Amino acid sequence: MFGWEFPPHIAGGLGTACLGLTKGLAKQGVEVLFVMPKASGDEDQSSAKIINASDVEALYNLADIEEYWKNINFMEVGSNLIPYMDPEQFEREVSEQKKYGNRTERIGFKNKYTFSGKYGANLMEEVARYAMVAATIARQQRFDVIHAHDWLTYAAGIAAKKVTGKPLVIHVHATEFDRSGENVNSLVFNLERQGMLAADRVITVSNLTRNIVINRYGIDPAKVVTVHNAVDFQSYSEMNVERGVKEKVVTFLGRITYQKGPEYFIEAANKVLKAYPNVRFVMAGSGDLMNRSIRRVARLKIATRFHFTGFLRGQDVQKMFAHSDVYVMPSVSEPFGISPLEAMRSGVPTIISKQSGVAEVLKHAIKVDFWDVDALADSIYGLLKYPALSEMAGRCGLDEVNTLKWENAAFKLKKIYEEVKR
């Protein structure tokens, strides 16, 4: 399995999904060899770079305690691959590193395959380099199916398939259209498309994404299969927090980018505040639209009721949920969307956009079109105003997320593996 991030240090939902899937597969008796690039671990990394050497240690600790991890082997490849970054940004980062001259060669922890090539100066080169490593690994390891997660690893998957002739499954957690709207990066698009064309099966995390794969990438519907994500709350612990504010709290939590629809949250907040002043809105996260969002909030003169927290991680996320009365995910395009499930696990009533994959599996979340600010405002108001509604949505939502198990997703996955093996 080729991935590019893994908990506990993750930038988005993909690492969580990989963890859940591999755990689920292990329970199904499927052995997994997880290959992932490891970032350089330089001190000079910007906040977006999150994988470093000490994280890897934590990873192995986790691997030791979990009994069924014995089926899963990790393999890391020294690499700069960084999630959620486009090629231009990558180039900037790398050239910065060059300037400060701390490009020391790194060899992956417990990594039998020391790869001593030079780091590529741009993302595409890096992807190609990773593919070469993949081919080497593929020749030396025994396995039945190749599984590649998201576009950074598709080339690796293709290479492994070419070398071994083993079937390739690619897993689409997001497409370029989700990340960039209509301004797609054609290099990324082409890489994605090549991966899909070369694959024996394309797995999508929702029917929404499946449709994009079929319609935008022109892939044969027969080989595109949806396997919905799930959640794992095994390590979840109840949290009691003391609230600092008397008012109810409505929360947006996610990267503040085009894809997440922050502006709709702000406009809806403005409408709700006019009719229901006894409430505070929180936008947790960071991203390229953050400054614009702050300006908009100021212009609407709701800044005393609308708060920004910046990027939250680890426990802070759960703490934020514990402080919330309503959770809103107004994503413009969300292939799946794990965070509403986390909110619901904390018993928080949740509003999600219909343009999210998670809307396909949830019944007890309120669903609105992301652009329908009125409907969004209505739903927020309803949850604040009518206690029967929020109680029921919270209670049923909790029951519901507890039934979404990775084992089910892994079960489907195993079937797909068996199909392509034939």
Partner 1 sequence: MNKKTLCLYFQVHQPVRLRKYHFFDLGKSHDYYDDFANRTITRKVAKRCYLPANQMMLELIQKYGKNFKVSFSISGLALEQFEKYAPEVIESFKALAKTGCVEFLAETYSHSLASLVDEKEFNLQVKQHADLIKKLFDYTPVTFRNTELVYSDKIGEMVARMGYKTMLTEGAKHVLGWKSPDFVYTNSLNPKLKLLLKNFRLSDDIAFRFSDKSWGEWPLTAEKYAGWLAESVKNEDLINLFMDYETLGEHQDVSTGIFAFMANLPQQVFATSAFEFLTPAEAAAKHQPVAPLNVPFAISWADEERDLTAWLGNELQLEAFEELYKVRDKVKAVNDPALNYDYCCLQASDHFYYMCTKLFSDGAVHKYFTPYDSPYEAFINYMNVLSDFVARVDEKYDNKEKKAVKSSVPVEAPVKKTVVPKASAEKNMKEGKKAVSRTRKK
> What single-letter DSSP state applies at residue 9?
B
- Coil, strand or helix at 220: coil
Q: Judged by CB under 8 A, which stretch of 206-214, 281-289, 295-303, 358-366 contacts partner 1? A: 358-366
Q: Record the tokens describing residue 312, joined without a space.
A: 């939250």
Q: Which of 139, 243, 274, 299 binds partner 1 (CB under 8 A)?
A: 274
End-to-end CA distance of the chain: 19
**DSSP-based helix, strand, coil % in the chain, nearest 5:** 45, 15, 35
Query: Segment 51-70, which members bind partner 1 (CB under 8 A)?
Result: none
Q: Which of 99, 101, 183, 388 binds partner 1 (CB under 8 A)?
A: 388
The pattern of x and - marking residues 305 through 344 that bind partner 1 according to CB under 8 A reads: ----------------------------------------
Does residue number 358 form part of the binding site for partner 1 (CB under 8 A)? no
Question: Maximum distance among all alpha carbons in the chain?
Answer: 66
Query: Rounded CA gap, 143 and 256, in Å?
Result: 40
Per DSSP, the chain holds a count of helices (H) and strands (E) of 15, 12
CB of 217 to partner 1, least distance (A): 29
How many degrees, rounded to 5, is the angle at CA 290 between CA 284 and CA 293?
95
Residue 414 CB coordination number (10 Å):
17
The CA distances from residue 175 to 10, 179, 188, 197, in Å, are 18, 7, 9, 14
Does residue number 361 form part of the binding site for partner 1 (CB under 8 A)? no
Q: Which residue has the tokens 């319609």?
A: 215
Query: Rounded CA gap, 311 and 191, in Å?
Result: 30
Q: Which of 88, 374, 399, 418 binds partner 1 (CB under 8 A)?
A: 374
- Distant-in-sequence, close-in-space partners of 358: CB < 8 Å, separation ≥ 6: 206, 229, 334, 336, 337, 338, 340, 341, 352, 365
CB of 391 to partner 1, least distance (A): 7
Q: Which is nearer to partner 1, 3 or 357 (CB)?
A: 357
Dihedral over Cα of 403, 406, 407, 408: its sign: positive
Q: Which of 193, 367, 394, 409 binds partner 1 (CB under 8 A)?
A: 367
CB of 330 to partner 1, least distance (A): 16
Spatial CA neighbour of 295 closest among 308, 285, 278, 282: 308
Q: Judged by CB under 8 A, which stretch of 91-99, 239-247, 334-342, 391-399 contacts partner 1? A: 391-399
Query: Rounded CA gap, 16 and 23, in Å?
Result: 11
Residue 398 CB coordination number (10 Å):
16
Q: Which is nearer to partner 1, 318 or 324 (CB)?
A: 324
Q: Judged by CB under 8 A, which stretch of 233-241, 272-280, 328-336, 407-415 contacts partner 1? A: 272-280
Q: Which residue has the tokens 């907040």?
A: 269
CB of 346 to partner 1, least distance (A): 18
CB of 306 to partner 1, least distance (A): 18
CB of 354 to partner 1, least distance (A): 8
CB of 378 to partner 1, least distance (A): 5
Q: Which of 109, 308, 381, 411 binds partner 1 (CB under 8 A)?
A: 381
The pattern of x and - marking residues 170 through 209 that bind partner 1 according to CB under 8 A reads: ----------------------------------------
Answer whether 414's CB lies under 8 Å from 27's CB: no
Does residue number 366 form part of the binding site for partner 1 (CB under 8 A)? yes
Q: Which is nearer to partner 1, 168 or 377 (CB)?
A: 377
Q: Which of 275, 278, 291, 292 binds partner 1 (CB under 8 A)?
A: 275
By CB under 8 A, name the binding residues for partner 1.
271-272, 274-276, 363-364, 366-367, 374-375, 377-379, 381-382, 385-389, 391-393, 396
